[in-house]
């Protein structure tokens, strides 16, 4: 069904029928429930704190012995927040937090080369996201600190990290 056909259908439907359809969607589809829960009660700060706790648990687990250090956990939260329409400042905060906690982890552990490649992707994403959203200046100091730390820890792909910042200039 096209958007135009949907608009026509909605304009011709009685209000009671539309209410019933929305309630049915809410009950049937978890994505709709999540959207409405967020739309009518956006506890963005709580969502961000939960995300940070789970990201931190990936690198420094509380219940298990070995860290998993999966970038995908943070990426799922970021993607979900973008889809929900969470404030871009909060999304960028989670993106930076992911890199910062990964840097802390890499200081203490011997990590594979794929870890650094993955973090390079995250770094590129945060630089791109903040510049597209027009909030780079708000996060510039934090991003530069992350970049400096990659240099201090002598992470591989130094040139690629530098190129990510060149995009801004």
pLDDT digit string, tens, across residues 122-138: 999 999 999 999 999 99
Rounded to an integer, the average pLDDT of 11-29 is 91
Residue with tokens 């973090």: 119
Q: Which of 93, 110, 86, 85 is nearest to 55 (CA)?
A: 93
Q: Where are the domains of the chain?
A: 1-41, 43-166
What local confidence, expressed as pLDDT, does residue 150 receive? 94
Model confidence, pTM: 0.84
Domain range 43-166, CATH class: mainly alpha
Band (pLDDT 50/70/90 cuts) for residue 169 is low
Coil/strand/helix, residue 87: coil
Q: Shortest CA distance to 69 belongs to which of 12, 108, 28, 26?
A: 108
Q: Distance between CA 99 and CA 71 in Å, rounded?
A: 9
State yes or no: pLDDT of 29 exceeds 80.
yes
**Once rounded to an integer, what is the mean pLDDT over residues 84-106?**
95
């Amino acid at each position: 069904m096209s958007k135009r056909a949907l608009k026509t259908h909605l304009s011709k439907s009685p209000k009671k029928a539309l209410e019933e359809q929305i309630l049915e969607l809410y009950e049937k589809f978890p994505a709709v429930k999540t959207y409405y829960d967020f739309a009518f009660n956006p506890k963005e700060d709580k969502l961000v704190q939960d995300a940070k706790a789970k990201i931190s648990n990936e690198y420094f687990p509380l219940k298990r012995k070995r860290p998993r250090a999966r970038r995908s956990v943070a990426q799922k939260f970021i993607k979900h927040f973008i889809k929900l329409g969470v404030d871009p400042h909060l999304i960028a905060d989670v993106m930076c937090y992911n890199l910062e906690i990964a840097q802390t982890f890499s200081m203490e552990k011997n990590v594979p080369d794929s870890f650094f490649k993955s973090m390079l992707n995250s770094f590129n994403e945060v630089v791109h996201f903040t510049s597209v959203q027009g909030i780079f200046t708000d996060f510039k100091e934090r991003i530069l600190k992350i970049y400096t730390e990659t240099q201090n820890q002598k992470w591989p792909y130094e040139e690629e990290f530098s190129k990510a910042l060149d995009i801004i200039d």
